[in-house]
Structure 1
Amino acid sequence: MSAYRELVLATRNEGKLREMQQLVAEEPALADVTVVSVASFPDVEDVVETGVTFLENSALKAHAVAQATGLPAIADDSGLSVEVLGGCPGVFSARWSGTHGADQANIDLLLAQTADVSAERLAAKFVCCVVLALPDGTERSRIGEVHGRISRNQRGDNGFGYDPIFELPDGRSMAELGAEEKNAISHRGTALRALRPDITELLGN
């Protein structure tokens, strides 16, 4: 049985915290594990994402938080990869236009950069890498992907980031999905579900 009864999520995002709490609650072997946000540790500083891959950034954050708190930590990094752009925006997805979190500016720039590309060549995927790190340096990582293409038309009022222009194989944009449906197929949800056996192995009773 693991000595750890708390698991720290290396984010201050309440939505991500609820998602992780639900995932852990569904596993009986993790019934005694409480998931908390790094916001519960005000002395822990934000980690600068200097990695050039999703795995590097996730690992940086997870290990830094695990070391700072003395508890197991989970971190994720995700973004959009467009085939014709050589995988970009990639790790720079949130700040593609130069300003972090400027969703519409990021979308506008991406559409401008692919303006001369035919629809058939606009294959894209959302990628998420999640890392579980223990204070002793133990690490587990998993990747989730969802495939689609870039659409010229922005559709849907749900989601964030590039969701309005990410078209799924069924023709809907990611932003047209409800929260439950999106979580069932999303890159982040897929990666987290893939990581659950690792969480159970390392923290389960």
Structure 2
Amino acid sequence: MQVLTPVLAGLGTGLSLIVAIGAQNAFVLRQGIRREHVLPVVAICAVSDAVLIALGVGGVGGVIQLWPGALSLVGWAGGLFLICYGLLAARRALRSTAQLDPEGSSAAGSLRVAVLTCLAFTWLNPHVYLDTVLLLGTVATGWGAARWWFAAGAVTASALWFGGLGFGARLLRGFFTRPSSWRLLDGLIAATMTALGAVLLTGATG
């Protein structure tokens, strides 16, 4: 029971931070619907979160607080990346006639591109460091000796969420057999990416 309490606290806190509309989640959802390299994408997201959470619980968050310029640099890079990706999604929304056939096959994209894109979404977002390293790390400190059990709960939350999002997205494939559905999704992704990119650039310049 003493172990279960911090694990559940970490699970709940982790889910509250991860389950939100964002660039990384939108990318995982799109990969899941198309069934393109879902396992490596989900693995990258979950493992990256585990590393960042461990760094936060281990005390690295204090280093980031002492060097706020690091987050500004990440903000600039991440903001530009998100805006470029948003523009590409907007072009797909305006021009694409892509769809999934009834058998569920689709033209698979490059594994290398999927991996690099996923890494960029994960590591070029300063909010990821604020949420996992600083916030979760700070909350975990309050659990004292049980802080690593709290971290285990947060890591579990990340794995469950990204696994469910990536592999559960196939349930939406019927809806995405129509090109208009893809245009709608890409339009929403374009709006999300460009808006988040603008927010990051504004924060980096402030």
Short-chain TM bin: under 0.3
Q: Normalized per residue, which structure has more strand?
A: 1
Q: Normalized per residue, which structure has more helix?
A: 2
TM-score, normalised by the number of residues in structure 1? 0.28
